[in-house]
Amino acid sequence: MTPSPDPGKLQHHAALRRCGRRRNCIVDYRASLSFIRLLANLRWLAVVGQVLTVLIVTGPLQLALAEVPLWAGIGALAAFNVYATWRARQSEELSDAVVFAHMLVDIGSLTWMIAWSGGVENPFSSLFLLPIALSILALPGPWVWATAVASILGYGVSALLGRSYACPPPVRRRTSHRCSRGPDRTCSLAGRPVYPR
């Protein structure tokens, strides 16, 4: 009885045929798969962190955030990551464009979440630097520049369309919240000013 061929070896030989004489092609192919898996794992951590943050900020801290868009953004990111996790386990060839597309999803999700939670006044807005740092590890120069441009655009959009949130109730003044009254009323959390709607 003839043994069935190993699917992994068949994919390896197929990748070799596609690569031709490019010596680094197989290394890049495996690195792309590994990087997609890394992104998927980091994305699950981001989903859990976003859920906890929204629960704490809208619960104990009592900040008047627009919860529906935030939960919608978290749900969309989780749904995409289900697909990304499945795709990473299929051991298919992944091009640099596919890796960049996954990065764009992360940047778009971050832009959405930041825009609906205070804009660039949100301390998490510094996370726009993370996709750039990650792209340096897995993508060639042109794609790194494209990721940097996308991150800058995401930061700019979140700054322009950022939705601020209202101050918490007066009882919260006993904590780190500080509010001032009057037409120019602002709210500060841990020393960062936030302008209410």
In a domain, 13, yes or no: no
**Closest Cα partner for 147 from 122, 129, 125, 124?**
129
In a domain, 5, yes or no: no
In a domain, 128, yes or no: yes
> In what helix (H) or strand (E) does residue 189 lie, and over which residues does it extend?
strand 187-189
Is the per-residue pLDDT at 2 higher than 60? Answer: no
Most distant pair of Cα atoms in the chain: their distance: 86
Highest mean pLDDT among 34-38, 70-74, 191-195: 70-74
Mean pLDDT of the chain: 76
Lowest mean pLDDT among 10-19, 52-61, 138-147: 10-19
In a domain, 45, yes or no: yes
Domain extent, residue 162, equals: 22-194
Average pLDDT rounded to a whole number, residues 138-143: 91
Express each pLDDT in 41-91 by its tens digit: 999 999 999 999 999 998 888 888 889 999 999 999 999 999 999 888 876
Q: Is 188 or 46 the better-scoring residue by pLDDT?
A: 46
Q: Is the pTM of this model over 0.85?
A: no
| Residue 116 DSSP class | T
In a domain, 3, yes or no: no
In a domain, 170, yes or no: yes
In a domain, 17, yes or no: no
Q: Structural domain tally of the chain?
A: 1
Express each pLDDT in 94-112 by its tens digit: 788 989 999 999 999 999 9
> What six digits make up the tokens of 192?
């960062």
DSSP letter for each residue of 26-92: HHHHHHHHHHHHHHHHHHHHHHHHHHHHHHHHHTTT--B--HHHHHHHHHHHHHHHHHHHHHHTTT-
In a domain, 124, yes or no: yes
For 107, residues 6+ apart whose C-beta sits below 8 A from its C-beta are 128, 131, 147, 150, 151, 154
| Confidence at residue 82, expressed as pLDDT on a 0 to 100 scale | 96
| Confidence at residue 168, expressed as pLDDT on a 0 to 100 scale | 58
| Confidence at residue 148, expressed as pLDDT on a 0 to 100 scale | 97
Is the per-residue pLDDT at 152 higher than 70? Answer: yes
